[in-house]
Chains A and B, each alone.
Chain A
Amino acid sequence: MKRILVGIKRVVDYNVRIRVKPDGSGVITDGVKMSINPFDEIALEEALRIKERGAADEVIVATVGPADTQQQLRSALAMGADRALHVQADGVIEPLVAARALLKLVEREQPMLVIVGKQAIDDDNGQTGQVLAALWNRPQATYASKLELSEGKARVTREVDAGLETLEVDLPAVITTDLRLNEPRYVKLPDIMKAKKKPLETLTLAALAVEARQQLKLVRFEPPPQRQKGIRVKDAAELVEALKKKGLL
């Protein structure tokens, strides 16, 4: 059975305006809309398209997170994933812990491909895919904007600072997604109903023998410094004059 494992994370929805708590202990998440990390949604979409082309048989979606993350797993099932694995864990999940948990699932499910977002839009760590590939001792192709599969191999176009880089990797491999890989589908109502019947298995870090280590203590959250309010000029001439005065032209 050719399987694809997709890792997703529950994050504050990207449309929410982030506010730091006055006591600096975190950002406000009470009553805030939560969603699948957008890059992970792209990862799932890619996996579904591969399955729809007939190049994979099953798409498994997995997450490490609190009980509420089931909502995002159900959304992923509604998008089209076949089944879900929920490693329940509370508190801060560092990339090393998430990757170790995913590795246990990889060992169990033996996927030909693991696809995850290049970063989560909450902590912006951008590590889990690479750490998993390292622990698994398999190839990684990060920041993918195009993915083509052939017998036992993947050809991946990556968005790198220099432009577009193409790599060939042997499977199994870990792919991390960039924005232009695809546009995720919208979920239809009947699919939401169907998703309720799809299998969702709950596990724990302890059951997977993964230690919930936290090696980076979150000391303090602060709002970013605000820029001073600027001035308005009325035309190009005034703009050029202002820039010259500042020594910028």
Chain B
Amino acid sequence: MSAKILIVAEHDGAKLNPSTAKCVTCARALTGAEITLVVCAADSAAVAAQAAQLAGVARVLTVDNPANLHPLAAVLAPQIVALAAPYTHLLGPSTTFGKDLMARIAGLIDAPQVSDIMAIESETRFRRPIYAGNAILTVERTGAGKTVGTVRTASFEAAAGGGSAVIEKAVVDVPLPTHTRFVSVSAAKSDRPDLQTATRVISGGRALGSADGFKILYSLADKIGAAVGASRAAVDAGYAPNEMQVGQTGKIIAPELYMAVGISGAIQHLTGIKDARTIVAINKDGEAPIFEVADIGLVGDLFQIIPEIERLV
């Protein structure tokens, strides 16, 4: 028997989130797996068309319902469960969307969940980080039944385009709860690249001193086309909004270039950047732990160094 995998697509109603393409790559590690994507939306057409282009996807199921306008786990979960019967694995991204939703699905179908899958070794064997990435655990699914998983997106490249999956409208006739209601979402509008998918990221720490201090990072970031992140300390101090937080409890990212500016390098922060290809550390304290993981280190005053880099590039 080969695996039949259902991946829950993450999207904002118009665009497919790149985390979905990474789930597809994860699923494709199982040779012969049949991969289906499910798009739950108020109007799925645009997102389904993008999903159908992902290489390796056989089928895209669409579930259109006005209740799906905002992704509420309590509303989405019973719809996914209604479609789950034929599948051996149910996967979603290990983003706040997927982590919120997949565990609710796991509860509804009484199946174990493997969180933060960083490698699929077989239909039953998975590798995942624990203790904030300080240990890697291999787990084996025992017994019969489905396996639910969230995919650590930093561990996988996005699946390529060029596919042509069949798009099918799925009929889901289950009662949906009304006990959970969307009120609002606030996010700073930014023209910079998305932190989770950017190839270059510049992050600032507490040493930036203020929200104003971050301006030198934004300026350099705009010049080199980078996204801007922040350490937990900088977010807690109010220098940057929470969606910019990189680390164990923020975003886990894997850019080509990560520049840690005025960040000491707490283990929780390092967890978020382990998969960065090249890490640059700029800090006035040469003993800061960030230098132990940095590929290139520069000790000095960031308020001089950053503007100078901007002049030089």
* Contact between chains at A170 and B179 (CB < 8 Å): yes
Q: Is B300 part of the binding interface, using a Cβ–Cβ cutoff of 8 Å? A: yes
The docked-state distance in angstroms from the alpha carbon of A225 to that of B86 is 37
**Distance from A19 Cβ to chain B, minimum over Cβ atoms (Å):** 8
Complex interface residues of chain A between 116 and 156 (CB less than 8 A to chain B): 118, 121-127, 129-135, 137-143, 145, 155
* Contact between chains at A224 and B296 (CB < 8 Å): no
* Contact between chains at A125 and B243 (CB < 8 Å): no
**Distance from A37 Cβ to chain B, minimum over Cβ atoms (Å):** 12
Which residues of chain B have C-beta atoms less than 8 A from A142's C-beta? 73, 96, 99-100
* Contact between chains at A215 and B312 (CB < 8 Å): no
The docked-state distance in angstroms from the alpha carbon of A99 to that of B280 is 42
**Distance from B220 Cβ to chain A, minimum over Cβ atoms (Å):** 11
Closest chain B residue to A227 by CB distance? B293
* Contact between chains at B104 and A124 (CB < 8 Å): no
**How many residues of A are counted as interface, with CB atoms below 8 angstroms from the partner's CB atoms?**
79
- Assess A160 versus B183: contact at CB under 8 Å? Given A227-B295, A235-B298: no
Q: Mark B104-148, 1 if CB is under 8 A from A, else 0.
A: 111110101111100000000100011111111111111101000
The docked-state distance in angstroms from the alpha carbon of A240 to that of B259 is 12
Central interface residue in A18, A130, A145, A165, by most chain B CB within 10 Å: A130
The docked-state distance in angstroms from the alpha carbon of A180 to that of B113 is 27
- Assess A236 versus B103: contact at CB under 8 Å? Given A123-B130, A155-B183, A169-B179: no
Q: Mark B179-220, 1 if CB is under 8 A from A, else 0.
A: 111111111100000001000100000000000000000000
Q: Is B224 part of the binding interface, using a Cβ–Cβ cutoff of 8 Å? A: yes
Central interface residue in B107, B136, B185, B187, by most chain A CB within 10 Å: B107
- Which of B129, B187, B279, B309 is the one whose CB lies under 8 Å from A124? B129
* Contact between chains at A216 and B232 (CB < 8 Å): no
- Assess A134 versus B104: contact at CB under 8 Å? Given A159-B96, A164-B242, A248-B256: yes
Which residues of chain A have C-beta atoms less than 8 A from B163's C-beta? none
- Which of B107, B129, B132, B138 is the one whose CB lies under 8 Å from A220? B138
The docked-state distance in angstroms from the alpha carbon of A160 to that of B279 is 26
Q: Is A163 part of the binding interface, using a Cβ–Cβ cutoff of 8 Å? A: yes
**How many residues of B are counted as interface, with CB atoms below 8 angstroms from the partner's CB atoms?**
83
Closest chain B residue to A142 by CB distance? B100
Closest chain B residue to A38 by CB distance? B249
* Contact between chains at B143 and A215 (CB < 8 Å): yes
The docked-state distance in angstroms from the alpha carbon of A165 to that of B126 is 32
Which residues of chain B have C-beta atoms less than 8 A from A209's C-beta? none
* Contact between chains at A230 and B112 (CB < 8 Å): no
**Distance from B129 Cβ to chain A, minimum over Cβ atoms (Å):** 7
The docked-state distance in angstroms from the alpha carbon of A140 to that of B103 is 11
- Assess A248 versus B298: contact at CB under 8 Å? Given A139-B179, A162-B243: no
Which residues of chain A have C-beta atoms less than 8 A from B280's C-beta? 239, 243
Q: Is A197 part of the binding interface, using a Cβ–Cβ cutoff of 8 Å? A: no
The docked-state distance in angstroms from the alpha carbon of A56 to that of B108 is 29
Q: Is A242 part of the binding interface, using a Cβ–Cβ cutoff of 8 Å? A: yes
**Distance from B160 Cβ to chain A, minimum over Cβ atoms (Å):** 21
* Contact between chains at B179 and A12 (CB < 8 Å): no
* Contact between chains at B73 and A130 (CB < 8 Å): yes
* Contact between chains at A130 and B107 (CB < 8 Å): yes
- Assess A124 versus B296: contact at CB under 8 Å? Given A133-B74, A161-B196, A180-B236: no
The docked-state distance in angstroms from the alpha carbon of A143 to that of B99 is 10
The docked-state distance in angstroms from the alpha carbon of A121 to that of B267 is 12
**Distance from B302 Cβ to chain A, minimum over Cβ atoms (Å):** 10
Central interface residue in B179, B182, B241, B243, by most chain A CB within 10 Å: B179
The docked-state distance in angstroms from the alpha carbon of A241 to that of B139 is 44
**Distance from A178 Cβ to chain B, minimum over Cβ atoms (Å):** 7
The docked-state distance in angstroms from the alpha carbon of A186 to that of B301 is 36
Which residues of chain A have C-beta atoms less than 8 A from B112's C-beta? 94, 96, 215-216
Complex interface residues of chain A between 213 and 247 (CB less than 8 A to chain B): 214-224, 227-228, 230-240, 242-243, 246
* Contact between chains at B143 and A179 (CB < 8 Å): no
- Which of A18, A133, A173 is the one whose CB lies under 8 Å from B104? A133
The docked-state distance in angstroms from the alpha carbon of A18 to that of B129 is 12
- Which of A17, A163, A218, A238 is the one whose CB lies under 8 Å from B137? A218
- Which of A163, A178, A239 is the one whose CB lies under 8 Å from B298? A239
**Distance from A187 Cβ to chain B, minimum over Cβ atoms (Å):** 22
Q: Which A positions have Cβ atoms within 8 angstroms of B?
A: 12, 17-18, 20, 27, 94-96, 99, 118, 121-127, 129-135, 137-143, 145, 155, 158-170, 173, 178-180, 214-224, 227-228, 230-240, 242-243, 246, 248-249
29 contacts between A and B (CB under 8 A): A20-B135, A94-B112, A96-B107, A124-B132, A130-B107, A139-B74, A155-B183, A160-B96, A161-B96, A161-B243, A162-B187, A164-B187, A164-B243, A215-B112, A217-B142, A221-B135, A222-B135, A222-B137, A223-B135, A224-B133, A227-B279, A231-B296, A232-B297, A235-B308, A239-B305, A240-B309, A240-B313, A243-B278, A246-B278
Q: Which B positions have Cβ atoms within 8 angstroms of A?
A: 12, 72-74, 77, 95-97, 99-100, 103-108, 110, 112-116, 125, 129-143, 145, 177, 179-188, 196, 200, 224, 232, 235-236, 241-243, 249, 251, 256-257, 274, 278-280, 282, 291, 293-300, 304-305, 308-309, 312-313
